[in-house]
A and B are shown apart, each in its own frame.
Chain A
Amino acid sequence: MADRRYTKTHEWVTVDGKTVTVGITDYAQSQLGDVVFLELPSPGRTLGVRESFGVVESVKAASDLYSPVAGKVSAVNEKLSAKPELVNSDPYGDGWIMKLELTGELPPDLLDEAEYKKVTEAGAH
C-alpha cells in the first residue's frame, strides 16, 4: 500500500477523496501486545490534528490515540468492540479504527513508509 502515511505516534492513514481511514501501525500493535479494548469517538465528533480521540488498552498498558488529520468522524470500526484483537491480527486491514471526513488539507508532516521505518528503528532497543 504505497499511499499509506504514518505519524510519529504510530497511527496510519489512507486517503480516498475526502475520506481518511485511521488505524495503528503494525509496529504499534506489536509493542502494545494483545489489545483487549478500544475507547472510540462517536461519529459526528470533530477532531483537530493530534487531538486525542480514544484509548487502546492492551494487556500491558493503556495508550492514547491521536488523530493524524483534522476532520469529522464519519465511522468507527464497530467490529472492534467484539473483536479488539483485529488490531493485532490485521492492523492495516480489518483492524482499522475510524474514518474521518477531512477538513482542509492533509498535514504536511505525515511520514511515508521509509520515514516511518526510521522512527520505529530509532525507538527499538
Chain B
Amino acid sequence: MKKENDPGKPDAGHETAHQSRQKYGMVIDLDKCTGCGTCMVACAAENNVAVRADQTDKERTITWMNLYKITNGKKFPHTEVSYFPRPCMHCDHHPPCVSVCVASATKLDFNTGIVSQIYTRCIGCRYCQAACPYGARYFNWWDVFPQDKGMDRYLSPDVSPRMRGVVEKCTFCHHRLMRAKSQAYAEDRRELEEREYVTACTEACPVEAITFGDLNNPKHRVSQLIKHPYAFRLLERLGTEPKVYYLSSRDWVRKLADNFLPGEYEPVVNRTWAADEWSTKPGRDEF
C-alpha cells in the first residue's frame, strides 16, 4: 500500500517535458520591491490570517509574509534602504521544522516541494518555531475568529481558519495549487501552465517583484532567474536549501542576507545599484 509520505515515484504514464517532481519556488526582486506591504495584506486576506484589534505586539502577531526594512547602516547622504519580504522559505533539504515535529503535523511534500502544516494535527509544542531560523512559523496565541461576531463572513472559503494553540505558516497558497490542478484535470491536462498557479503575494505585488513557478521546469521564468548572478538566498550557508530566492544588484543587500566572516563575502559586481541603475535598465530580466 502506498503511504502518504512516500517520496513519490514518477508515474509510468506521466509524460512531461521536465522532471516529474515539481519544485515550486519564488524569486523576489529586492531592487523592485518598494516595501508597500501589499503582499502582506494579500496574503493575510487570502489565507484567513488572524488579525486582532490590537496588533502592536509584533512578536505575537501572525504575518506569513513578513516585510523587513534593512539599511546599509551609512549616514546621510549615503543611506540606502531596501525592503525584504520574507515568506516561508520552504526549505528543500531536511527542513529544520519538519524533522522536529512531534506529531507529524508538518511535511515536506516531495512532489511539489511545499512544506505543509496540518493544523488539526498540531499540538502546539512550538518546537518547530524554535528550530526555524527565519521566524517563518507563527503560533496562535489567541482565539481570533470568535463565533457570532460576523467575522466568519470575511473568511476565504478555501482556507481553514486556525484554532487557538496551533502553529501556522505560509503554504505557498497551497489551495490555489489544488484549485489549478482541479481545473487542469477537468480540462484533461497533465501539466499546469506557468501562470496558472501563483501565490496571492505574487499576484498582488504592484511592481511584479515576485515571480513564482516551478524551479524544476526550464520553461518557467523562476528556473532562469535563479541562475542570475544577482540571485541569492537567505541564510544559504546553513544548508536549509530555501526555495525562495532573492535578486539584488546591491552588494550590501546580498551581504545582509547571510552571515559572513571578514573577507568571506565576494561581491558580484563592485558597482552599486545607485551607481549604474542596473535594475531599471530594460533587458535585465531577460538574462
Q: Do A and B bind each other?
A: no
Interface of A toward B, CB cutoff 8 Å = none
Interface of B toward A, CB cutoff 8 Å = none
